Structure 1
Amino acid sequence: MEQQQYTPTRPRVLVVDDDPTVAEVVAGYLDRAGYLVDRAADGPDALARAAANRPDLVVLDLMLPGMDGLEVCRRMRGRGPVPVIMLTARGDEDDRILGLEVGADDYVTKPFSPRELVLRVESVLRRSRPSQPSGHLGAAGLSMDPAARRARKDGTELALTIREFDLLAFFLRHPGRVFSREDLMREVWGWDFGDLSTVTVHVRRLRGKVEDDPARPRLIQTVWGVGYRFDGSHAEV
């Protein structure tokens, strides 16, 4: 029987879970779906493996012994953008919000279908690698280079997560138009289902990075009862 040859084109996924059964099942499904899988059972091991071989995506359990998943996510995000799907054993909304606040791109609540998780992985990776980046975008002191995945405000580089970058790029491409949270989830995340608080949290985080006064947003405006609108008309480009 021929041994499967790993190639650099196979996306690398790091699975971090202290439950060996869950980790084995998830890793098995991802391997069969064509991914190169690394496994870690705790936070320090996960950070060491991510430093040695930077993953294309991390599946990260929230409830890890010692260093929890939130701290692992913070430290990984501190090293640079990497998509993260958080696993949580509880359906508590606070847990989900905390995961999104530290930069997770999605979450899955245990017990979950491994096949659904694979679909989530595929979706997040697909959206994090646009196949045909558009030209430069800019308005209201903001400038973006989608191909280089870099954004600046008044010449200063912004530290955006992958999803924050995609959300800002979408707003810049559609100034003045109002989008519901369902619209944004479909267009930016590529999902026709999911918890809409994901959008709410990312809009709040993005405002904190692009608005002069996040408490009184002028760029990303809330249209009550409808959704959000980007308005750069009041500021100079």
Structure 2
Amino acid sequence: MKKLFYITLLIALPLSLAACQSKSTTGSSQEKSSSSKVAQKDSSDKQASRSSKSESSSSSEEKNSSSSEVTIATRDMSAIGIMTYQEQFPSDDLQKEPNLGLTKGAQFLIGVSSVSELAYNLDGDSVVWYTKENDNSKPESEKELSVKHTMSLAELEAKHYSTAAQKSLVDALVQKISIVDNDTSSNSDEESSDDYEDTDATDTDNEDTDNYDTEDDNEDVNTNEDTTDDYDE
């Protein structure tokens, strides 16, 4: 009986050891496989993050490039005034306005009657304009242009001067608009030019007068010499 027990024990012991070793190897293999999967996932996440950053940087560069390539189609103040008026009063049909007028000065004024509807000027690549104050206690003609608005020229043109039809309309209104020039600097230049011309004319007159007086003196001298010669004879 004892022999049988020992024999069974000798047979079972190696089998148990082999089973334990197999389990240990399997567990180690599973751990290695799990670690490998984690490492692969981390690497994949890093690559995805780098790719996302690269795409974001590329998109930002494209936006900056496109914004730097924006060009202004026109800086004609009449055209800018008409586009600004269209922006502020979109329901007005300027083609039907017989009294569309523009006044040039320190600020440009534009309106459809003797009363200007808005004042505008350029500030770099933007247009700044002012509309009438919201004071219902004043008559329309006494309201000041004090409400400020600002828009980039690129945006203004995109809205009112981008299609062929829009350009044709604005260009036609530029030809139609009545312009009054109240620019004091240009008037001063013209007055200075007139004064200069007047001075030149005065100097010329003075020179003519001097020449005339000289001729008279010469004639008097010649007459005196003739009289002396007659007396000597």
Q: Which has the higher helix share?
A: 2
Select the structure of larger CA radius of gyration. 2
Q: Which has the higher strand share?
A: 1
TM-score tier after normalising by the smaller chain length:
under 0.3
The normalised TM-score by structure 2 is 0.21
